[in-house]
Structure 1
Amino acid sequence: MQDFISFGQWWIPSKPEVRIPGTLSFSSDRDARLELMGSFYDGSSVEKDITSDVILADQENLLKAGMKELEFIEPEEIIILGLIENNEEITLYKCSGRIANFDFVESTHTLVFYAKYILRKIHISNEESIKFKSIAIEYSYFREWVGKSGITPYIKKDDQVLIKSHPLENIYLTKINDLDISITCFQMFNQFENRYFGTAYYKINIEQKTYLTISNYDNKSLSECIDLFIHFRDFLSFAMSKPTSIISVEGKLDVPVPRYINKEEFQEQEIIILFGLGGNLSNSETKLSLHDMLFTFNDMEDRLGEIFTAWINNQEKYTPVFQLLMTTIYTPNLYINYGFINIIQALESYHSASDRFKDKGKYQKSEKYKDGIYKKLLEVIEDFARESVGEANGISDDFRAALKGKIKGLNQITLQTRLNQLIKNISDLLPSNFIGDVQDRELFASRASKTRNAWTHHDEKEKEKAAKGNELIQLFHTLTVILQVCLLRELNFTDDSIKKVISRNTNYQRQWRSPSN
């Protein structure tokens, strides 16, 4: 989605005669911004009764003078219409405004609106008409990830090159929330029909674009469709092991076309949809090859719909895991120690939430711990001497309360134990030489957990002993592989497919090794 700034004329559907000049600016990392040189409204403020229990000094003076407090308007407009350069029609959808600048002497102000969506090349005056039949989105490296092409070159004798081109059939994936999802391809050619007979050709372009397309037969809202696209963007970023960006979004809807008196027909129109999306890296900011990707479409083929559905269904259960992972992926320039902390905390959170470790997160069953050592420790803390002038070793009430809180969590296993359990649980899915033997894996878990504790608790002495430099990078990549295996299994990948994608994974090739090896 290309950033742009354009000057134009703007109005709201209820007052089409009031047209205000203003500048529309769009950047893919935030909502569109419309700055008006005037206002759609008669005034900039509204009267407000002073009813607060606490009367400020300036409000008290207003009351004495029999006046009311003024409050600047913060308008909400579902739709704002405009015409920008080249008379292009613009519909701004879901807008909220505020007073940006106010001149008390001249009683003039600047009104700014923020729009969630920009619909280009169309005017839609009411929300009920914003019903997209389908929406197609293009992601960076998506066509390479899908790996399907309808363009085939043939090299024959005498240096002849023939190019065969045929359109690909749509690949249906699944239905989610009454939205049908497919992979669609479109081929673009030079406009041969515009050439005169006998014209020499020096260049012919043939390009295939690949889209994820939603068919919206049940008139779901634009927001529901976009949410699904964002989920798929995150899924692709996980699959590619690098951030993927949104290149373009195009929607089709039926618009009325007047034909006869008191009668209109509808025809399909394709428009461009723009919306702000934090962290949406442009395609030029990251380079990616198939060798960098964790898995591709060819690794799952007809199971992509099922796997993507599992991705969405796991979002709530593993919310912290996905948030930490996505933050790390979408921040490629993140300092390695922060990336390391994100991934190891994601693994800790996964272990706590996964049903696979439901009865393994505590040293004892909760009731046994509560009725046993916890009860004894609580008695000791309760009976311990109070801090006073005559008691040198007594403790304060705050310290006593803090100790009571700490012993509640003493039954939770350590991070090192969690890592050992995770590795053991997925060992059959890892290459046989991953990290090393059992002793090496235990050393790895110890090294990773101690390094996390040193960075988290900011203990300078422990930081000196913690992993750094190349070893910290290796710990990061190794932990990432472990997290990837855990999530692939949650996405219902088969054991054989997990082994296949991990064995060729570049993170696996940069794994941590024991210094003794």
Structure 2
Amino acid sequence: MLEEFVSLGKWWLPNKPEVVVPGKLSFSPESGATLELIGSLYSSQFEEIGQVEDIAFPNEIFSIEGESNLTSAVRLDFIKPEEIIILGLLDNNEEITLYRCSGRIKNFEFVKGRPTLSFNVEYVFRKIHFEYEQDIKLKSISVQYSHLEKWVGKSGIEVFVSQEENKIWMSYQPPSNIHLTKIGSLDLYITFSPVCVHPFYSYFGAIYYNANIEQKTYLTIQNPCNQPIDDCVNLLIKFSDFLSFAMTKATSVIKVTGKADVIHEKPVKQANGDFTLEKEARETQVIIIFGLWNFTKSSEINLSPDKMLFLFSDVENNLGSVFEAWINKREEYEPVFDLLMATIYASSLYLHYKFLNIIQALEAYHTSKYEGSYQDRKIYKKGLYKKFIEVLRDFPSESDDQENGISDEFRNALKGKIKDQTRFTLETRLKELLSDVFSLLPNNFIGSVKDRELFSRRASETRNALTHHDKEKRQQAARGRELFQLFHTLTVILQICLLRELNLTDESIKILVERNRAYQNEWRPPSN
């Protein structure tokens, strides 16, 4: 995963390389990168923010006879600089580029006049200096995610064991790159770590006393048109969400690297014996660091393929179109996906919060896809709603009937409540969704039609009790094992709905659900 670090170095602005300030660069995946300078890159720590007119000084301070003691002054505030690029050199001589930096004075000692200037940094590029924003041209970006190797399930490592000869042969040939899709001008591939042997060792015939072969799997985004880094990062985050949905557990970004062409000057001997400097582009690897809102230490989770919702092999022939559908549906059903992803990434949430997230996501999905109403709104307004309004209008007020009358505030509140009463209740929405996906669930996953109705009622009652905090209803709400089973079953229903949105066939969805061990804890009606 992206690791926290703190590094000391010296820092300067590209247009003022003579002003070099010591400082500390720190990074955490949750909050991003911060640069704290011991001193300032600027000649002044203040900026003018306006004019103050007619300031009155005491007579003993401003006491020239015949002169007014009123004057004007400039209003000052601490600077809040915005820098596109700050360059740095760490103590180990590593080059650093900080991109999009928002600064502020952290503290200021008026006696010494020494400020501490702090910058929040959006992107950190390690091992390279980009002098100008237009120089930031990344030919490709490769992302390593936790558990991606297990999800893809392709290996180029082979091991041969001969017990008779007491020998072990190991070989590695990277699998072929897999093209997924093209989104805009960005090409997406699944790639694998190449074979790398240091030329020094191979040339001098080094003797090996240990061997370790590790294949790494990446999502690689090829960027031939030099699209902005934001486009690439947004895409890799969307793929991270997609993987987390496929795995049913949060994946995390372990490492992000890019490739850029850097111009170098080299001396070239001419025919007359003189040397001239000629420029050449050399491909350089760049380490890219940025903060992630959905960071999780998921690499520490023991996740096996048999517990994943679906694997690469299940969608190998159409993964590109499935991922494109994910991007489109993520926008179409944004609240649904937000609630689901929040539940996946926040694995430590209390069970009743997870339950509320998933049931609300299902309600939002049904509302967005089907709307759902008991009666056409125009018919309702002309008929029953009109009668309700007439009854409310004619019902006596408190001033006329102190025992049975109602206040104007209550009358208006009732008008608001009955206005949209044609919409389906949560219980009805759950029944419809369950009826729609029931054929894809394993046999006896819930049970009979009566059990389906009981499930929808129990889930709806529990949501209402947990949301509205009615003490009596809260005592009757599902809890413990029953609450877990409700949450589990609702999650399965939501996953099936979204798999359909990703254009997987009903036949393939049914196979995925039945084979997954996580679905063995299906809902059962209470024994009472």
1:64-463 equivalences under 5 Å are 64-158=70-164, 159-187=166-194, 191=198, 194=201, 201-259=208-266, 261=276, 263-354=278-369, 357-358=370-371, 361-388=372-399, 391-463=402-474
CA distance in 1: counterparts of 2:208 and 2:279, whole angstroms: 45
Q: Which amino acid aligns with 1:133?
A: K
Q: Deviations over 1:266-323 (max 9, x none)?
A: 1111110000102312344322111221111011112111000000001121111111
The answer on whether the counterparts of 2:482 and 2:526 sit within 8 Å (CA) in structure 1 is no
What secondary structure, in the 3-state scheme, does the structure 2 residue paired with 1:271 have?
strand
Q: Normalising by the residue count of structure 2, what TM-score does the alignment of the two structures yield?
A: 0.91
Work out the CA distance in 2 between the residues paired with 1:492 and 1:184: 25
Distance 2:157 2:303 in 1: 22
- Cα displacement (A) at 1:43: 1.2
| Residue aligning to 1:20 | 21
Matches of 2:5 and 2:26, distance apart in 1: 6
Letter in 1 for 2:12: W
C-alpha change, 1:43 and 1:454, in structure 2 (3 Å) is same
Can you list the C-alpha shifts for 1:11-57, whole angstroms capped at 9, x where unaligned?
Answer: 111111100000000111122000001111111111222589xx999
Larger radius of gyration: 2
- Letter matched to residue 503 of structure 1: E
Report the 3-state secondary structure (helix = DSSP H, G, I; strand = E; otherwise coil) of the residue aligned with 2:27: strand
User: Which shows bigger deviation, 248-257 or 398-407?
Assistant: 398-407
- Residue in structure 1 matched with residue 8 of structure 2 by the alignment: 7
Instruction: List gaps (5 residues or longer) in structure 2.
Output: 58-68, 268-275
TM-score (norm 1): 0.93
**Post-superposition offset of 1:99:** 1.1
Aligned residues: 507
Residue 417 of structure 1 and its aligned partner are, at CA, apart by 0.7
Asked if 1:499 corresponds to 2:510, the answer is yes
CA distance in 1, matches of 2:206, 2:154: 33
Deviates more, 1:383-392 or 1:130-139: 383-392
**What residue identity is the alignment partner of 1:115?**
V
Indicate the larger mover: 111-120 or 367-376: 367-376
Distance in 2, matches of 1:335 and 1:232, equals 27
Stretch of structure 1 that moved more, 276-285 or 470-479: 276-285
**Residues 247 and 283 of structure 1 are in contact (CA less than 8 Å); yes or no, is this contact kept in structure 2?**
no
Identity of aligned residues (%): 53
Q: In structure 2, what is the Cα distance between the partners aligned to 1:384 and 1:56?
A: 64
Counterpart for residue 36 of structure 2: 35
Whichever residue aligns with residue 500 of structure 1, its letter is I
Separation in 1 of the partners of 2:523 and 2:441?
A: 14
Residue 476 in 1 paired to residue 487 in 2? yes
Structure 1: distance between partners of 2:407 and 2:323: 54
> 1:375-422, CA deviations, whole angstroms, 9 ceiling, x for partnerless residues?
211222233333327644333332222212111221111111111100
Distance 1:78 1:504 in 2: 51
Unpaired stretches in structure 1, ≥5 consecutive residues? none
